[in-house]
Every structure is written in structure tokens, then in C-alpha cells.
Structure 1
Amino acid sequence: MERLPFVYILSSGRHGTLYVGVTSDLLKRLHQHRNGTTGGFTKAYHVHRLVHFEQFDDMPAAIAREKQLKAWRRDWKVALIERGNPEWADLAIGFGFEPIR
């Protein structure tokens, strides 16, 4: 996978705690979240399942989208996730990550 900007949403489980982030290296960032090396919110609340992501051509566009999503109400974020991932499957598995227990 090329190093392109991504906005992503992690969840602790179906309808669980949500985290919105932006990165230029999605695989590296997923590895950091899943191994707890990022610390902070995602580690404290066990928010490690990739439930939504969007790819962008440039970082300013990705950052603008991240800010937009962070300002959204929770029910709007849930609707966004469920439009593309109604089962809240861990999309990181499609990138070769092991399922979370």
C-alpha cells in the first residue's frame, strides 16, 4: 500500500467507543494502535478495531475530513460506519492483521 493520507475510525466493538484519526501510513498506525504503542485514549479504552477508512490524495484534505468527522454527532458517525460496514467487521483483517480477541 502506498503512503497516502487516510482518515480512519476505530471502535472498541459494535456500537462501542469510537476514535477518529488521520495518518499518512495506515498500516503503521494500525500496528501502533493494536499494540498499544500510541498510548492515550485508544489504549485506555481498548479502541483497536478498524471499522471505517477513507483515502485522500493529500494531507490537507484528509485533515479537513478528520476535523469534520470529529465534529459530527455520534449517530452520524454510526450511520457512516453502518453504510459501508453494517456488521462492524474489523477491516484491518483485510490488511493482514490478526483478529482481535
Structure 2
Amino acid sequence: MHGDLHPANVVVSDGTLSGIVDFGAMFAGDPAWDLAAAWVLLPAGTASRFFDMYAHADEAAIRRARGLATMKSLFLMLMGQNGDRGLPGGKPNWGPVGRAALDRVLKGV
């Protein structure tokens, strides 16, 4: 598993996922880390379909993924705030992505 799927670590071409980058955190472990991408990367309303297609997405894994997605969303929002403030390493365009992901997590879509 990748372990750190968020918008800066995926490559999209013509609206289709075409690659994944930044494998510094690649490891074996809890699939919930990658399942969290359902809320962080995918459009609203697609998480349940994603889980249906994933072979090992039981309810406990989905609950863990929801918590991890919340954490990743907050991280993206913080990086966005840091960018807005001009702080080193800040990414102003990450804030809206994090807010949208958190909204999807909270709505369960």
C-alpha cells in the first residue's frame, strides 16, 4: 500500500488516474490508509462504490479509513493555511482540497 494518497501524490490525465508518486511511505499494513483516499481523492458520492469494489473493505476498515481521511483532510487544510500565510512549505491550493475532502467525510459520501 502507498500509505499517503492525497492530491499531491497522484497524477491525473483527462480526468482519469494515470499514476501514483511519492513512494517514500510505501509499506505493508492496514489497508484503511489507502481506503481513506475514497474521501480525499474521489468526487462526492463515489466512496460507497469504491468500497463495494474493494475486496477487503469491511465496516471496521471503513471506520478506520474515515478517521484517517479526517486526519489527512485537516493536514491539507493546515498546509493551505500555511501557504496563505506565506510560511515555508505551505501550499495555498491545498486548503480548498482539504475542506472539500472533510466535507465528504462528514457527509459520508
Q: Which has the higher helix share?
A: 2
Q: Same fold (TM over 0.5)?
A: no
Structure showing greater relative contact order (alpha-carbon pairs closer than 8 Å, 6 or more residues apart): 1
TM-score, L = length of structure 2: 0.29
Whichever structure has more strand as a proportion of its residues is 1
